[in-house]
Structure 1
Amino acid sequence: MTAPIELYYWPTPNGWKITIMLEELNVPYEVKYINIGKGEQFEPDFLKIAPNNRMPAIIDPDGPGGEPISVFESGAILQYLGRKYGRFYPSDERARVQVEEWLFWQVGGLGPMAGQAHHFRNYAPEKIQYGIDRYTNEVNRLYGVMNRRLEGRDYLAGDYSIADMASIGWVIPHKNQGQDLDDFPNLRGWYERVKARPAVQRAIDVGKAERERQASLADDKEAQKILFGQRAR
């Protein structure tokens, strides 16, 4: 019997991408919690597989040629798992390009901009109105892009895919980004459709208790120093 995939994880929008994929695939995996508020992402053993000191990362003991492989960066992990298991990442080139367009759109746009909106709206020690407006407005623009894309479509790239898995976690906390899904009816329909999937529901619950045991990040000044004050080491 093949050993389970090791998932280095914390319950955040980026972490959820991988629990969603693994739950959808119904493959065995073992969660290794990386408490980012306590700085565990800087431990030397973790940096060997995730040199950018960010989770998620995986170790697949049954990698190419039957040898273990580690993969970091959520988009790369989704692509790897999609290729390995032949699901949610089409082999047809035209269909694959569409999935990749929206996957990279999320990785390069929706995630970073929503993350900055979270920061300036909820965590910044000073309320800087320019930063709040800048990122709230940019997330609003990106939601508008999704809303137009989803006109007459159930999913971002044709069939349900890793592009949807990558994006849903960044729409779940829309209120923290200053967004109202009633302004984006196509996006709201997609959001409700994806979030209703049993695998997505299970995936979002992974680590929920671990996270709830921690102090709110908005109140945890030490965790903020760890997460927001890093420079090159």
Structure 2
Amino acid sequence: MPLTLYYHPLSSFCHKVLVALYEHAIDFDRRIIDLSSATDRAELEALWPLCKFPVIFDHDRKRAVPESSVIIEYLDRLSGDRHRLIPDDRDSALEVRLWDRFFDHYIQGPLQQIVADHLYATHGDLTKQRNTLLTAYDMLERQLGLNEWAASADFSLADCAAAPALFYACTLVPFPDDHPQLSAYFDRLTRRPSVQRVIDEARPYFSLYPFAEAIAERFRTP
């Protein structure tokens, strides 16, 4: 295969890239990385010394591409005439990149802190993280009244970021009942074939997620 994805099937940032790969129907090889394995860590570290996934290795160009947003932009260039996940129009592209950063920083960020607190039993005060998620939900409720998708009328990089971020965030802080736009968007998002495929592939690993019991039954059952 010309591309190899170094990833883990439970990782939210890896899910983000997988959605883009499936949207573009790009063939790729898979290398699951177990960070508890010294051999796997060394293999990943050789590509990206920070030892974080996902990383795409392009065998034709002999190039490793890290960081989920950068990977998706790279995939856009490989996709030819297919629908681009980052629009050519500069203003539209700026909006897409803004909401991509929003999901990564203000939803992924707090949720990962909450999960880490549980994993390491630090028992910290997570009020700030939970309030950040609620603020982000409020912002999304307003934003999603404007478009079918997160940043534009078309599915984009922002939606690739939204899918795993919201999937895991709602297991920690459920969407408020008075946020119908957000709930409807999440339903559209999780019914999209590319996102469904990512969820299906992650299902065998859900038991490793410390809040697995909070994942909706419709996602836990094939």
Q: Report deviation, 1:44.
A: 2.3
Aligned to 2:127: 133
Deviations 1:143-202 (A, max 9, x none): 211111111311111111011111110111234322235342111111111110112111
Q: Distance in 1 between matches of 2:140 and 2:19?
A: 20
Q: Distance in 1 between matches of 2:169 and 2:102?
A: 17
Q: TM-score, normalising length from structure 2?
A: 0.83
Q: How does 1:188-203 map to 2 (within 5 A)?
A: 188-203=183-198
Where structure 2 has 5 or more consecutive residues not aligned to the other structure, the ranges are 212-222
Kindly tell me: are residues 39 and 112 of structure 1, through their superposed partners in 2, closer, same or farther at Cα, counting changes over 3 Å?
Answer: farther
Kindly tell me: are residues 94 and 208 of structure 1, through their superposed partners in 2, closer, same or farther at Cα, counting changes over 3 Å?
Answer: same
Q: How does 1:4-23 map to 2 (within 5 A)?
A: 4-10=2-8, 11-23=10-22
Q: How does 1:169-208 map to 2 (within 5 A)?
A: 169-208=164-203
Counterpart amino acid of 1:83? Answer: R
Aligned to 2:53: 55
Q: TM-score, normalising length from structure 1?
A: 0.79
Q: Is the 8 A contact 2:34 2:41 kept in 1?
A: no
Aligned to 1:216: 208
Identity of aligned residues (%): 24
Q: Distance in 1 between matches of 2:89 and 2:39?
A: 37
Q: How many residues align?
A: 206
Within the candidate set 72, 77, 84, 2:66 is matched to 72
Q: Distance in 2 between matches of 1:217 and 1:178?
A: 15
Kindly tell me: are residues 102 and 40 of structure 1, through their superposed partners in 2, closer, same or farther at Cα, counting changes over 3 Å?
Answer: farther
Kindly tell me: are residues 5 and 75 of structure 1, through their superposed partners in 2, closer, same or farther at Cα, counting changes over 3 Å?
Answer: same
Counterpart amino acid of 1:115? Answer: Q
Counterpart amino acid of 1:25? Answer: H
Kindly tell me: are residues 44 and 161 of structure 1, through their superposed partners in 2, closer, same or farther at Cα, counting changes over 3 Å?
Answer: same
Q: Is the 8 A contact 2:175 2:183 kept in 1?
A: no
Q: Report deviation, 1:27.
A: 1.2
Q: Distance in 1 between matches of 2:103 and 2:170?
A: 18
Deviations 1:26-59 (A, max 9, x none): 11111100123x2559722211222221111111
- 4+ residue runs of structure 1 moved beyond 6 angstroms? none
Q: Distance in 1 between matches of 2:106 and 2:77?
A: 24
Aligned to 2:148: 154
Q: Distance in 2 between matches of 1:39 and 1:90?
A: 39
Kindly tell me: are residues 172 and 217 of structure 1, through their superposed partners in 2, closer, same or farther at Cα, counting changes over 3 Å?
Answer: closer
Quick one: higher RCO (CA 8 Å, sep 6+), 1 or 2?
Answer: 1
